[in-house]
Structure 1
Amino acid sequence: MQNPRLASRYAKSLVDLAVEKGQLEVVRADMQVLQQITKGNPDVVTLLKSPVIKPDKKQKILAAILEGKISNMTSMFIQLLVAKGRESNLPEITTEFARQYNVLNNISKVKITTAVPLDAAILSTIKQKVEAGSDKKIEMETAVEPDLIGGFVLETEDRLFDASILRDLKDIKKQFAQNIYTPNIK
């Protein structure tokens, strides 16, 4: 993140305005659209960061890209960013908006990484178990990493629970390397 303080301030302003106008869910959906666009299309990020392209041209291009996809409030917010020369921070602002939205609505993000994709029933059971141990609503994110061999890695905001076969194998390798049963001979 290039400028977390700036992103935090702009995101906070947008959250406050959206709450005041009763459009928080609409703006959240818009921010998710913007996040998908900036993550999925590096050309848009290059456009936002380009000092060569004039601000009025950037506004026209962004308006053409986002026409019918975002609300008027979010469109005006993007126009403000371009007018202030802060459009290059849009990807950071969308991420920070999502974080502040989650804090405001008492939502905790949980990421589970497994060696193979999980079916919906197992994922639902895991979500119920995690919610039972927390006073927050849980938003699950899944990832597949075949290197884990088996088991899973569960990441919350402040904890990491690694129950993977890969970690067990690394622990065993470490124990063999130390070989505490053989005295060191010099």
Structure 2
Amino acid sequence: MAQESTLVSGIAGRYATALFDLARDAGQLDAVARDLGELSAMLAQSSDLVRLVRSPVFSREEQARAIGAVAEKAGFSDLVRRFLGVVANNRRLFVLADAIAAFKTLLSHHRGEAIAEVVSAVPLTDAQLQQIKSSLSSEAAGNVVIDAKVDAGLIGGLVVKLGSRMIDASIRTKLNNLKTAMKGVA
């Protein structure tokens, strides 16, 4: 626990650590990770769900009932359903996205993996992701898990974050740097 607490912090970190410990003890790490991945995707796709977890307008009971219905409909494991119930009853649903991210961090550390966040302007192919993974594996001295995201605002190129290191090879950044340089010339 002491080592895990240095990986994640804050309210979200405490919830993630508690869920991680329960899932590890119950031998359900993979099932919980899968359920949290689905929940994360739901949050990314549904503005109504985001409003439910972030808005203080909803009562504790309304939030608990709604998130319970979502978990039931999605077929989440009993452990994840109980976790969501506790978070909702404690009026902490607003930290859900951060708790999911913290759980992923704990799980990756437990498995000896490094998480690399790769943001691109367009979706990358499996071959491209594999090439990035193999390049990063030599840097990370271990297994690397790619968390691929798309941001059309990059225009082109990639932004790669691995631990505290970031490589920004996006067209947007290059244009911004050029713009800044041009202001200095004028």
Q: For the superposition of Structure 1 and Structure 2, which TM-score range results when normalised by the shorter chain? A: 0.7 to 0.9
**Structure-2 separation of matches of 1:136 and 1:79:** 36
Cα distance in structure 2, aligned partners of 1:166 and 1:34: 31
- Deviation (angstroms), 1:9: 0.7
Give the count of matched residue pairs. 175
Alignment-derived partner of residue 99 in structure 1: 105
Residues 50-109 of structure 1: per-residue CA shift (max 9 Å, x gap): 444333333222222221521001111111222223233222222221222222222222
| TM-superposed deviation, 1:139 | 1.6
Alpha carbons 2:160, 2:167 under 8 Å: kept: yes
TM-score by length of 1: 0.74
- Residue in 2 aligned with 1:77? 83
2: CA distance, partners of 1:143 / 1:110: 14
1:10 pairs with 2:22:
no
Contact 1:114 1:146 in 2 (8 A): no
In structure 2, the partner of 1:184 is none
Residue 40 of structure 1 corresponds to 45
Matched, 1:143 2:150: yes
Instruction: Tell which deviates more after alignment, 46-55 or 99-108.
Output: 46-55
Greater Cα shift, 113-122 or 32-41 = 113-122
Contact kept, 8 Å, 2:153 with 2:172, in 1: the verdict is no
Give the aligned partner of residue 95 of structure 2: 89
Matched, 1:127 2:127: no
In 2 relative to 1, CA 8–171 (structure 1 residues): closer, same or farther, beyond 3 Å? same
Distance 2:123 2:16 in 1: 34
Q: Aligned partners of 1:50, 1:172: CA distance in 2, in Å? A: 39
**Corresponding position of 1:58:** 63
Q: 1 CA distance for matches of 2:155 and 2:53?
A: 37
1:125 is displaced (CA, Å) by: 2.3
- Is 2:29 aligned against 1:24? yes
Give the gaps of 5 or more residues in structure 2.
Answer: 1-8
Q: Percent identity?
A: 25
Structure (1 or 2) with the greater helix fraction: 2
CA RMSD, Structure 1 to Structure 2 (Å): 3.1
Unpaired runs of at least 5, structure 1: 179-186
Deviation sequence 1:83-140 (CA, Å, 0-9, x none): 2232332222222212222222222222344566544333322321221232232122
TM-score by length of 2: 0.74
- Rg larger in 1 or in 2? 1
